[in-house]
């Protein structure tokens, strides 16, 4: 995976393991957890936003967070990492005054926009919602870049 310089990746909302499995296929060290048993990873009875003890930290967090609580998920992930935070989010996450402040005060480095709609359903049909990877990098200063995934 481009740009990850070793370390442990925490996939903290692993669901059925789709992201974790891809990361592991690249030989990366991944720790997978979820609040709810969806068939993959370690089940933690801890609310990621409210109850994660400070000793649970990772170099990087990569996940697809619940959209309704994506902003606090990102804020918590930035507290618990030293490297990168990558969140798979709707492209519309760029909108709103509340999130504007988040983008001004956190080290968002790159937004990778999918040029094709992702298939998020088991039926295999192409989705209707545009998605992107939003990547924060601790220590990054400057404006974010936009790249495209073809």
Instruction: Encode 32-77 in three state secondary structure.
Output: EEECCCCCCCEECCCCCCCCCCCCCCECEEEECCCHHHHHHHHHHH
82-139 per-position pLDDT tens digit = 999 999 999 999 999 989 999 999 999 999 999 988 876 565 556 788 999 999 999 9
In a domain, 103, yes or no: yes
Which strand (E) or helix (H) includes residue 111?
Answer: strand 108-114
Any domain includes 101: yes
Within-domain flag for 41: yes
Does residue 1 lie within any of the structural domains?
A: no
* CA gap 117, 8 in Å, rounded: 29
Whole-structure pTM value: 0.89
Which H or E run contains 87?
strand 84-90
Is residue 116 a part of any domain in this protein?
yes
Helix (H) or strand (E) holding 110: strand 108-114
pLDDT in tens, 36-63: 888 898 887 667 887 666 657 789 999 9
Q: Please indicate, yes or no, if residue 3 is contained in any of the structural domains.
A: no
Q: Give the tens place of pLDDT for each residue, 14-41.
A: 999 999 999 999 999 999 999 888 889 8
CATH label of the domain that carries residue 76: 3.40.50.150
For residue 135, give the DSSP letter. Answer: E
pLDDT at 56: 72
CA distances for 75 relative to 36, 72, 147, angstroms: 21, 5, 23
Q: What is the pLDDT of residue 5?
A: 63
Evaluate whether residue 99 is within a structural domain.
yes
Look at residue 53 and tell me if it is in a domain: yes
| Number of domain units in the chain | 1
Residue 55 belongs to domain spanning = 8-149
């Amino acid at each position: 995976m481009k740009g990850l310089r070793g370390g442990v990746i925490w996939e903290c909302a692993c669901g059925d393991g789709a992201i974790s499995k891809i990361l592991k296929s690249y030989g990366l060290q991944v720790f997978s957890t979820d609040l709810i048993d969806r068939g993959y990873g370690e089940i933690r009875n801890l609310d990621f936003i409210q109850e994660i003890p400070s000793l649970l930290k990772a170099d990087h967090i990569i996940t697809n967070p619940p959209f309704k609580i994506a902003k606090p998920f990102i804020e918590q992930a930035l507290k618990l990492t030293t490297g990168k935070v990558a969140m798979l989010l709707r492209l519309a996450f760029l909108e709103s005054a509340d999130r504007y402040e988040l983008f001004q005060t956190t080290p968002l480095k790159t937004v990778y926009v999918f040029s094709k709609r992702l298939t998020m359903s088991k039926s295999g049909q192409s989705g209707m919602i545009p998605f992107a990877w939003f990547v924060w990098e601790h220590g990054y200063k400057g404006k974010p870049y936009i790249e495209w995934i073809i």
